Amino acid sequence: MNVILYMRSLMNEVGLTQWTIEKSNEECPKDSLAQIHHTELQHAYLTLSLDFWKQDSVDQKMTLLHEMCHIPMWSLSFMVDGMRQGLKRNMRKSWKRPLEDGEECVVEFFARALARFLPLPGHLCEMDGCIDRDCSHSSPASP
């Protein structure tokens, strides 16, 4: 199944139907399996690392749920970033990490809470339009 179609199915299950999501071709940061980018209100791009494709379906699901849980946090993150920019330079650095860590804790809590109720992805691939839950398309990390 195409990873974006799976992500959309998760979003539909939790009521994030007003959001659209697309796969980004940007490179994922080296310390991340995936990253979500909010470019405008109710639109996001998902970036995946090559290591994402090496995970089993349970870990892929948790990674995608974690990124999905960042979506409703968009406006709060935007507001916090704006507040941080208003701080003096020396205070900005001291607040950056606690604010980011706080957001990550909330996102991870909701991802784990939702995981019990949402389906595993089966085989995920990058092929556009693939709806086969157990497709045989290769992923970027496959031989």
Return phi, psi of residue 36, to 5°: -105, 140
Residue 123 included in any domain = no
- The distance between the two most distant Cα atoms of the chain, rounded to a whole number of Å, is 54
User: Each residue of 16-30: pLDDT tens digit?
Assistant: 999 999 999 888 888
C-alpha 129/C-alpha 3 separation (Å) is 10
Question: pTM (2 decimals)?
Answer: 0.80
Residue 136 included in any domain = no
Residue 84 included in any domain = yes
Q: How many domains does the chain have?
A: 1
Residue 49 included in any domain = yes
Q: Is the pLDDT of residue 107 over 70?
A: yes
Which CATH number is 8's domain given? 3.30.2010
Residue 128 included in any domain = no
Residue 139 included in any domain = no
Residue 14 domain boundaries: 3-115
C-alpha 7/C-alpha 41 separation (Å) is 18
